[in-house]
Amino acid sequence: MSNLLEIRNLETYYGPIMAIRGVSMDVPVGKIVSLLGANGAGKTTVLKTISGAMDPLKGSVTYDGEEIQGLDPDRIARMGIAHVPEGREVFPFLNVDENLRMGAFSRRDREVEQDLERVYEYFPILKPMIKSQAVNLSGGQQQMLAIGRALMLRPKLMLLDEPSLGLSPRLVHDISVIIKRLNSEQGVTVLLVEQNAKMALDVGDLGYVMEVGRIVMEDTCARLMQATDIQEFYLGMKDHGVRGRRRWKQRKTWR
């Protein structure tokens, strides 16, 4: 299985603070890879380093056979990497149609209109709101708009940062379905960052777990779902057979 993205021994800092501590991971072509971890684990920093928003001090990011660490974000986007940041970050005073067209800013082909219709097929709730300013959309609608805008780039790789953040369980399910459809129908490879471990493991093929800036576990999502540590510390499943057991007093078995 060939890798579209390879990260090796990555170290990225916020000033004097090391946010990523020698992270290495692979994202195979055509797969959904889920990156789990608590708030502050370094997940968002990984995505920012891949997309060029931050430069690593050490290590390499290889995309489609080419090292891209340190390149400008616009050049990385033109190579086919679309980044949907945490918090959605739509253009609030542009309407839905204008927001989506911003995703195609680097394209010179004549199929933008066709792709707009495809986005509205994936997110039919947006079509009646074409002329509505993004600021007037609900959180879930803004998340759909942000993903749709990224899709307008025609990406090979989509970086999704906490797409379930602040959404109702129903909308989390809807976003999960869309991610799987984009992967299977459009062939988009996905690197998904999530605190919602159940959603991420349900959607993903392969998974990594981060803590304090480093990878502590990696496996298929199906196996991670069955791992005791993941069930206890990320899925909230407790062993009620041990009297007096306390989740926060247990020691994790990962390295």
| DSSP letter (8 states) at residue 251 | P
pLDDT at position 244 is 40
**Six token digits for residue 9:** 């021994």
Residue 108 belongs to domain with CATH number: 3.40.50.300
> Domain total for the chain?
1
Domain span including residue 184: 3-249
Question: Is 142 domain-assigned?
Answer: yes
pTM of the predicted protein model? 0.89
Helix (H, G, I), strand (E, B) or coil at 213: coil
Q: Cβ(84)–Cβ(158) under 8 Å?
A: yes
Residue 219 included in any domain:
yes
Assess if residue 255 is contained within a domain: no
- Decide if 18 is inside a domain: yes
Distance CA 188, CA 12 (A): 27
Contacts of 216 (CB under 8 A, 6+ apart): 209, 210, 252, 254, 255
User: Residue 89: inside a domain, yes or no?
Assistant: yes
Report pLDDT for 248: 39
**pLDDT score recorded for residue 129:** 94
* Per-residue model confidence as pLDDT tens for the chain (255 residues): 799 999 999 999 999 999 999 999 999 999 999 999 888 899 999 999 999 999 999 999 999 999 999 999 999 999 999 999 988 789 999 999 999 999 998 888 888 999 999 999 999 999 999 999 999 999 999 999 999 999 999 999 999 999 988 888 988 999 999 999 999 999 999 999 998 899 999 999 999 999 999 999 999 999 999 988 888 877 765 554 433 444 434 445 555
Answer yes or no: is 226 within a domain.
Answer: yes
In a domain, 254, yes or no: no
Please, are residues 141 and 147 in contact by the beta-carbon 8 Å criterion?
no
The whole-number pLDDT of residue 242 equals 39
84 located within any domain: yes
181: left (phi over 0), alpha (psi -120 to 50) or beta: alpha
